[in-house]
Amino acid sequence: MINLAYAMGGGGGAAGGQSGGFGAFVPLILMFAIFYFLLIRPQQKKAKQHRELLSALKKGDRVVSSGGLHGVITGMSDDIVTMEIAPKVRVKVSRASISGVASKG
């Protein structure tokens, strides 16, 4: 009778081990989904908005550089933007360093 009880106990453990194959990947899949929706997707969205902002720049726009310079765009090329930061004071900055368009006020 005791041998029968041990034999039944071993069979139940083996059946539980087989279901753990896919179950081990579920937490990894959930972690990837959380990282995607909380970190990766918002960062891609922000990068896309910045690319659109840079492509829409034109002469006369009031912009702010990533270094904090405020100025008006007076000239542009593919990679360089010329900004007038004071009367008759112009600086050249990289187009990628433009962080935003300043408010009209």
What does the alpha-carbon distance between residue 73 and residue 60 come to, in Å, rounded to a whole number?
A: 5
What is the pLDDT at residue 10? 53
With beta carbons less than 8 A apart as the criterion, state whether 74 and 84 touch: yes
Instruction: Kindly state the average pLDDT of the residues 35-54.
Output: 95
With beta carbons less than 8 A apart as the criterion, state whether 71 and 91 touch: yes
pTM > 0.75: yes or no? no
* Sign of the C-alpha dihedral computed for residues 97, 47, 63 and 54 taken in this order: positive
Sorted by where each begins, the domain ranges of the chain are 19-101
Residue 34 has pLDDT above 80, yes or no: yes
Q: What is the pLDDT of residues 73-86, one digit of tens each?
A: 999 999 999 999 99
Q: What is the pLDDT of residues 46-69, one digit of tens each?
A: 999 999 999 999 999 999 999 999
In a 3-state reduction of DSSP, which class is residue 95? helix
In a 3-state reduction of DSSP, which class is residue 4? helix
Q: How far is CA 83 from the centre of its chain?
A: 28
What is the pLDDT at residue 3? 66
What is the pLDDT at residue 8? 59
Of the two residues 39 and 13, the one the predictor is more confident about is 39
Tell me what percent of the residues of the chain surpass a pLDDT of 90: 71
Of the two residues 54 and 2, the one the predictor is more confident about is 54
Exposed e or buried b for every residue in 68-84, given b needs 16+ CB within 10 A? eeebebeeeeeeebbbe
What does the alpha-carbon distance between residue 60 and residue 68 come to, in Å, rounded to a whole number?
A: 18
